[in-house]
Structure 1
């Protein structure tokens, strides 16, 4: 979720080197990467233990545990064990060390925001040669969600969920300003922000955060290109729009108001509009249950474009049970399990079930068309350093008195990621 988005370990590269060194030195024996023997006889079926790691809620854990109990009905040879990590930060901080020690899970559930870093470093196994053997039908999944997990024409994840970014509007403030139809373009947003701006509430919240900046970039036809197109003209145009909104006094950052993230500003009605995501619904239910909001696609700059958050099941490269792990991943995307996740707020990547999400969450119905055009974040492989540098330079421009132009900011960042 954007409010607690995944952050990335500074030690991953060092630990990966250790992992490679241990492997080269014969650090692994014939046991599986999770410490269990690849197969043990149970009656007439040779059982294979597959360890699956994830972070998430207690509701997520129950669904996974129930699936682990039921998986033998379809895959009698698989004994699925579930390991819950306390947080995404602890997961990514722990995983490289587990790989180095030979005790990492075979299978993990992860979000795509930042996943390219770990694909680039060789943590995840390409699945193409295993898909047929494991009986995975890729045709069941939304094409845009599948594409999120395809890098250099190789499939690295079996998608479980997908949800485009969105633009959220305080309904009462909008109606009180007699603004009519909700905005479709950033020009519409700028005009509306001028009317919504007051001594009590700012026209728009722009969180200086990679997630939010990237949605502006996508809407102007840009993207980071995994580090190759950071200073593209489209990206410059998007950043110029953000800077102008602050120059014109229409935008506010959570930091400048003493809040941690955009949702807090929105829930306290200190900002009338913001980019955000599906996590706003449960958050606002607790933070301000009386607040009514509208959710529309990210407004158009020059094109229809936005990011998509997709959770997927990924097999670790170091797993000794890759085919069994992929079968377990396939089981976790069956209609029963996916419907359970849908019921607790996740839009499934299984195309035949996705419409049910928007029926159960009618406030997000207008976002459904964005499933077709929303795409991956495209951060460089050195994701944390890129995010830190982007946030630092944009913050310095809008809050710290820097006079750098949008082009100068992106040119200087591009120089670091050639």
Structure 2
């Protein structure tokens, strides 16, 4: 690996149209799991100007059984969707939580998929689909995440918190960030370029018919202050190229400015391009879908490897076949930073966590309604607390050390 280089990652806010779709889909997962921890959910969402459309396959007690919706559940689904959009903060003419047109096209799960996935007789629960999943961890930030993505998320999280609190009333929900860092000896040392494009109230723009130089200066100075607060001291210098709303205006945003679809921000959701991605999205899927649960456990294992001091960087790949319980392969890459043989970890890790869909769900307590908060600002690098983000725990460290020492 090169020791000195530039690397870039981006993030999007909770108000980005694709992230609105992700949060709606995961709010449906949480609703259904709150009624039946074994519910099956594959919920896709489309958002556009004053419209939200749900589609997908579902099954669960108190939700959808024997081809029939449970009493009252259709109203709960719509209420859940509207409350999600309200929480994000959309009350605009082109997209308002109270007035958007809602269409529910969810329907029953395929009996053939159910036959392959469900546990029964001597058959263990099978994977909900085929695929490859990756987990990654690095010691370059406290959250064991790539620094470029870590700070991209933090900038937008701070801006969203200020918008919700009222301390930055000129902000609207839609926003994107991008962070480019200079690495020396594989360590991030300074920011060479920072980009934020944020939706704003009328007039807080540099160009266009509503442009107001004083208001734009207020927004620009605020965003630059957030950048300097969030990044480590000394990272933002006089040489850092800073671009704030480089198009000149961003009044029309969110689903009114662009359509949003579940699962289109998978690199934002994971490692910002610093690690491979198997291609499967997370949001809208119950934890029998290994696109989600196996990616979570791969992150969990990789993070524990780095936290145990066995490597500075770790990538883990798992693979599955639909209807088959055990993974087809386990692959570990320590990127030349390891203190233990990768093959030894490949043998040890499945002994610490059973890597079947059911084994993963039980080990990480994934059958709870815990997913809505994961759908914005990344699924990884968060604090494990209150039953949330259980895959971020580092409770395997001691057992890992013992396993590789044996």
Give the TM-score band, short-chain normalised: under 0.3
- Greater percentage in strand: 2
TM-score by length of 1: 0.22
TM normalised by structure 2 equals 0.23
